[in-house]
Amino acid sequence: MNVDVDEADVAVLTQNLAKSKDLFNDITKRLHSISTKTSLASTSIKPVLTEFNTLTSKKRSVEEGLLLLKDVSSYAGRAAESQRLLTSPIESVGTTKYLQCLLDSSDLVREMKREIHHFDNVVVTFANVVDKAELNVVTHFTKLVSSVGLGGANVPKQTDIKTVLTYFASKGNLRMAHEAMEKAFARQLTQKMAPLEDNCVFQKRAANMPYERGSNGVASYVEELKNAVSTLQGVAAELLVSDTPVARNTVAQYMDDRVAKILSLYCTFLELSGITGQDLVILDVLDNVADLDNHIGKVANCNLGVCLVANKEYHRLLNIAQGLLAEWVKYVDGRVHAMDKLTDGNIPEVVVEILSKIRRVTEYDSLALLLQDMKLGSWLDVKPPLQFISVYTSVIPGAEGDASDRQAFLVSSYILDLLDELMVDLEIRLKDQSGDNGLRKLTQGFMLVRNVVMIETIINRLEGLYTKLGVIGQERLQRLKNRFLKLFLDDWNYASYIIIRDMTQITTINAQHGGQNSNKEREQVKELFKNFNELFEEALKNYEKFNIQEKDLRAYLSSEIKKLIINAYNKLYDKYGSGEFTKNRAKYIKYDKAQFERILNERL
């Protein structure tokens, strides 16, 4: 039988395909079974894996927690060790060791805040210990400063102070250290000065009650305060803080707290009780305050200008004190007018008393302070008669001129205004008195000149007062003396005057008659010599009545008389001494020029 090959191949192929299909169906069933079982297994194992992962995570957390606890334990141990030192007295631990521990502890706090910040109790507790230790250092530092302050040096403590300062500098808190020093120094300064402050007391004084410079307690107080400030600055320099304002701030605060109080109490006292009898006390206080101001400026770079309260009270006192300028003028005026009658005996007493007052006032440098803002002559109360105003140079317009040193000029002017007030008051009183006892100008002039010369002599012996007068003051004193000299020379002036007057008249008449030596001219010459001789003899007798014992006064008056009369007489003698105006020459011409000068030398 013939078989078709192609059909056979198809049959075989079909059979194989059927087998393959059955095989694939079986594989599919098995894979489905595997998938189902795998899915079931996956569902069953997932909780186990989750639990496993959870356990693994917890294990890791426990391990980290154990490690953290180990770190906390380590930090707590270190903190406990530091706390033991930081809570102990610094003196027992030692400054250097304590500060090093504090520095390390500060670093430890920062590290703990970063690493174990969850453990608040541990971190906060230790941080509080460190903060308290910082305050302990400030307290300890204050004690150290107090131990080496105004009481004297203490080298070991100085070393500790420098160590603390270095610590504060490293912390950027140096200002806090300086403030602590200022408080410590201020406390010492106050304690040291308290007893001397109590001695700065002021009491009512009578106008004529004598005052001894420095007796009110301010002088000794200022001297001790100056020493204390110098010591304070020296200690600051030793502690290497001389380039800081520690001493300056301490002194400024003390000035505002304590010095201001002393000045305030005195100002209030003066405002309530007045300045009578307080003039030298006030000047003394002002001088001492100025001295203190100068000292603290040089030593502590501090002055009243930066001490607001003290400066205010100081200027308050200055304003009160300026009233003294007018008071002294009133004192001079009142002293002269209190005299019942002016005599040769009581005038010098009053002059010396007033000059002594002027001398004492001018011994205080603060007089210049009182004058510095004053208008020239504003302290004067110029009263009629107005002709005497010309004596008071200070109230004449332009009197100040171009004075190069206005302060010195004001002092000089004020002194001379007091002397002018004194002498013009005396002049007025003598003029008023002349109507009662017939005091001639000669006598008035002598009494006044005598006292001006005495004033001049005393001033020349007092270097301080002489220097304060200066050239301008000397010129004014000379002008005052010349004013009274003119009164004294009244007789001599007239004798000299008639020579010039009559010689002029004779010459005029002679010229009118052709220059001939007429009888009228001869009679006039005789009359001139006769009148002059009488006036001259009268003037000599009047002069000799004064019986001048003072060498300087006698020399001065003699010189002035000679300057006035000798030249006039020489002109008269040269003109007519050899003339033929009389046959009885000796009757009219009693002295030749040499004889005239000799008699003046002998009798003046």
Domains of the chain: 9-147 (1.20.58.1150), 488-603 (1.20.1280.170)
Residues 161 and 143: their CA atoms lie apart, in Å, by 10
Taking residue 454's Cβ as centre, other Cβ atoms within 10 Å add up to 18
Residues 44 and 51: their CA atoms lie apart, in Å, by 12
Mean pLDDT of the chain: 83
**What is 77-110 written as a DSSP string?**
HHHHHHHHHHTS-HHHH-HHHHHHHHHHHHHHHH
525-572 residue pLDDT tens: 888 889 899 999 999 998 998 888 888 899 999 999 999 999 999 998
Is the model's pLDDT at 514 over the cut of 70?
Answer: no
Reported confidence tier of residue 329, pLDDT bands at 50, 70, 90: very high
Helix intervals (H) in 274-345: 279-300, 308-321, 323-337
**Residue-level pLDDT at 399:** 62
Question: What are the tokens at 27?
Answer: 């594989």
Determine contact, residues 265/320, Cβ cutoff 8 Å: no
Q: Supply the pTM of this predicted model.
A: 0.76
**Residue owning tokens 């941080």:** 127
Q: Left if phi > 0, otherwise alpha if psi is -120 to 50, otherwise beta: which for 94?
A: left
246-267 residue pLDDT tens: 889 999 999 999 999 999 999 9
Give Cβ neighbours of residue 341 (< 8 Å, ≥ 6 apart).
433
Q: Which amino acid is at 162?
A: K
Percent of the chain having pLDDT more than 90?
36
Considering only residues 319 and 440, tell me which one the structure prediction assigns the higher pLDDT: 319
Q: Which amino acid is at 406?
A: R
Biggest alpha carbon–alpha carbon distance for the chain:
232
Residue 138 burial (10 A CB sphere; 0-12, 13-18, 19+): middle
Residues 527 and 525: their CA atoms lie apart, in Å, by 5
415-473 residue pLDDT tens: 999 999 999 999 989 988 876 555 688 889 999 999 999 999 999 999 999 999 988 88
CA 364, distance to chain mean position in Å, is 15
**Residue-level pLDDT at 146:** 77
Considering only residues 518 and 316, tell me which one the structure prediction assigns the higher pLDDT: 316
76-100 residue pLDDT tens: 788 888 888 888 998 888 888 888 8
Q: What is the dihedral sign for C-alpha 275, 277, 280, 281?
A: negative
Reported confidence tier of residue 355, pLDDT bands at 50, 70, 90: very high
**Residue-level pLDDT at 6:** 47
Reported confidence tier of residue 59, pLDDT bands at 50, 70, 90: very low
